[in-house]
Structure 1
Amino acid sequence: MITSPIWLPATLMAGGVQAWRTAVQRRVSHSLSLNAAGLVRYLYGLPFALLLLGGYRLAFPAALPSVGPLFLLFCIGGGLAQIIATNLLILAFGHRNFVVGTAYSKTEAVQGALLSFLLMGERLSPFAWAGIGCGVVGVMLLSTGGKRMGVMDFVRALGQPAALCGIASGFFFALTAIGIRRATQQVETGDPILAALIVLAVTVALQTVMQGGWLLAREPGEMRRVFATWRVSGQVGMLSALGSACWFTGFATAPVALVRIVGQIEVAFTMGFAHFYLKEQIQGSEAIGLLLVVTGVVLALAGSL
């Protein structure tokens, strides 16, 4: 159920900021461990999350809303699911078949649609389901980077560690979206942006404690490196907070699957820029993938009207 039209610009902005953050985070991921690279998103993102919440309340003064009894539980669940999903995705990248792991992680939209129906009763129109199907196939094609892979190649790859990590990553990202959506529903306010920013600040604080505690217990030496990379890590934190604020606003105002499939337009924008502005050669499968992603977004939007 869509409660506000703001979900669309928020989702499109989230996709763009996420691409920017990923590019910056690559600069610190080479010098940090798996968990340390994940921690910088939350540790350095927390001040910006609090700044966004404080700035919004200054611009739109209102009493701080109360929260439901399950608020903290959903924030913890969504935050922990995101930590697990991110680590699984990095593990998928680390396996020999990078392409397969990446492609299977893109099943998140389908998994999210099924889980949101089973757990929250969210129903989508046939157009929206068709859009999800087109978008997932399109992003999977783009994930191959032009490499020839047929349907049977993906089927045969199902047992590979990269594929299993990719599917599991998509599953936990879907759970993240559902947890965040349920958390925003526990905030007793008619302002979805305020609800999203409250959930963001609380969730990022919890993630900092969870992953920071794990790092201190298991890899104490990495904590020094986390602080040593503060210049680049600060940029990662800022972009993570901004991107999450946009994603959370989308989740607060529209069905999970719809937000995720429209957010995949970010892949099309990235590929289009690389090919049409940087003059990189476009592969036939990539052109088809771009077309499918755009078609998927159009169908999803048509189904939401």
Structure 2
Amino acid sequence: MFLLPSWVLFTVAAAGAQTLRNAMQRDLIHTIGTAGATYVRFLFGLPFAVAFLLLACVATGRPPNPLNLAALAWTGVGGVAQILATGLMLAAMRERSFVVTTAYTKTEPVQVALFGLIALGDRVTGAGALAILVATAGVILMSWPARSAKPLAAGEAAGWRPAMLGLGAAACFALSSVGFRAGILAMGGPTFFVAASTILAAGLCIQSTLIVAHLALFDRRLLKSVLAAWRPSLFAGFLGAFASQFWFMAFAIETAARVRTLALIEVVFAQIVSRRIFKQGASAREFVGMGMIIAGVALLLSA
């Protein structure tokens, strides 16, 4: 009987939960805006992350190791990079379409492989590199809009700026994944479950503190709106923390490059949600792109 490695199961669970969280945040955008809907994943995810850490300690009977300086520093890098990535992504979306920005940001696995090699010495085999390229190309094919003679909409910029913003967002997302994996490895036990849970709670604590401080200083109206929308935000926060818990457990036992490449199946999940919930169809090109993602994932698992 063929059994999938645990990191594969963790990654698939994380991708599924993240897809549901994104669907929840879609509704919140109409209430508190894009930025507010983004912040809830951090602010309302923190209490659940702390609960997951307590559950991990109870389940294993082991308290977490003290948070050493290296683990704290890497977690801070991961947390700040994730916030910067979100800001760059939103800035790119303001200048260019959502689909084009998505295509840029989904170059993340390629950059994760590079950062992982530099920072952690995580090597990628030839077959693994090919899997990353095939799956990433599939996502870009799905995300890139069809050529149209219609001019860009008002406020939608062309040229290098939105491309640099999108690629910068992907780089920050990649640095975030590598930073969190490095933090978990620096934490060193007592079990990968407890270490991953500890870094998740620490990361969300750092991120929530920075977000609240920023909003308190520069946008108190948005902070009040986010806090006022706590009821619908709780489930999105739970799903965000739930997804991150599985991401971090996967990072604890496998390289960030392999995890983030397998994570591209989230795009396939999103297509299913779009068809089932939002009644949106898929083009022939999108089906080809999904096929490339699945082929890349299959190659990754066999590498």
TM-score by length of 1: 0.89
User: Which residue of structure 2 aligns with residue 72 of structure 1?
Assistant: 72
Give the letter aligned to residue 8 of structure 2. L
User: Which residue of structure 1 aligns with residue 183 of structure 2?
Assistant: 183
User: Which residue of structure 1 aligns with residue 20 of structure 2?
Assistant: 20
Offset of residue 159 of structure 1: 3.4
Q: Note if 1:47 corresponds to 2:44.
A: no
User: Which residue of structure 2 aligns with residue 224 of structure 1?
Assistant: 224
TM-score by length of 2: 0.89
User: Which residue of structure 1 aligns with residue 291 of structure 2?
Assistant: 291
How many pairs were matched up? 292
% identical aligned pairs: 33
Paired residues of 1:100 and 1:162 also in contact (CA < 8 A): no
Q: Deviations over 1:206-226 (max 9, x none)?
A: 111011100100001212111
Q: Deviations over 1:147-178 (max 9, x none)?
A: 249xxxxxxx9934332221111000000001
Residues 183-192 or 40-49, more deviating: 183-192
Offset of residue 287 of structure 1: 1.5
Paired residues of 1:262 and 1:297 also in contact (CA < 8 A): yes
Q: Deviations over 1:182-219 (max 9, x none)?
A: 10011131521111100001110111101110010000
Residues 266-275 or 87-96, more deviating: 266-275
Offset of residue 278 of structure 1: 8.3
Q: 1:224 to 1:276 in 2, by over 3 A?
A: closer
Q: How does 1:255-266 map to 2 (within 5 A)?
A: 255-266=255-266
Q: 1:120 to 1:205 in 2, by over 3 A?
A: same
Offset of residue 282 of structure 1: 3.4
Note the residue ranges of structure 1 that are not aligned, 5 or more in a row. 150-156
Residues 106-115 or 189-198, more deviating: 189-198
Q: Give the Cα–Cα distance (whole angstroms) in 2 for the partners of residues 32 and 279 of structure 1.
A: 24
User: Which residue of structure 1 aligns with residue 121 of structure 2?
Assistant: 121
Q: Deviations over 1:56-83 (max 9, x none)?
A: 2222211332343311111111101001
Q: Deviations over 1:235-281 (max 9, x none)?
A: 11111110111111111111111000101112123324655898854
Paired residues of 2:65 and 2:190 also in contact (CA < 8 A): no
Paired residues of 2:63 and 2:194 also in contact (CA < 8 A): no
Q: 1:207 to 1:280 in 2, by over 3 A?
A: closer
Q: 1:272 to 1:240 in 2, by over 3 A?
A: closer
Paired residues of 1:67 and 1:188 also in contact (CA < 8 A): no
User: Which residue of structure 2 aligns with residue 110 of structure 1?
Assistant: 110
Q: Give the Cα–Cα distance (whole angstroms) in 1 for the partners of residues 180 and 219 of structure 2.
A: 29
Give the letter aligned to residue 290 of structure 1. M
Q: Give the Cα–Cα distance (whole angstroms) in 1 for the partners of residues 279 and 31 of structure 2.
A: 31
Give runs of ≥4 in structure 1 deviating > 6 Å.
276-279
Cα RMSD between the aligned structures? 2.2
Offset of residue 43 of structure 1: 1.5
User: Which residue of structure 2 aligns with residue 83 of structure 1?
Assistant: 83
Q: Note if 1:171 corresponds to 2:180.
A: no
Q: 1:72 to 1:273 in 2, by over 3 A?
A: closer
Q: 1:221 to 1:272 in 2, by over 3 A?
A: closer
Q: Give the Cα–Cα distance (whole angstroms) in 2 for the partners of residues 286 and 63 of structure 1.
A: 47
Q: Give the Cα–Cα distance (whole angstroms) in 1 for the partners of residues 10 and 235 of structure 2.
A: 20
Give the letter aligned to residue 118 of structure 1. I
User: Which residue of structure 2 aligns with residue 162 of structure 1?
Assistant: 162
Q: Deviations over 1:7-55 (max 9, x none)?
A: 1111011111111111111222233355433332121111100111111
Partner secondary structure for residue 65 of structure 2: coil
Give the letter aligned to residue 10 of structure 1. F
Q: Give the Cα–Cα distance (whole angstroms) in 2 for the partners of residues 270 and 259 of structure 1.
A: 18
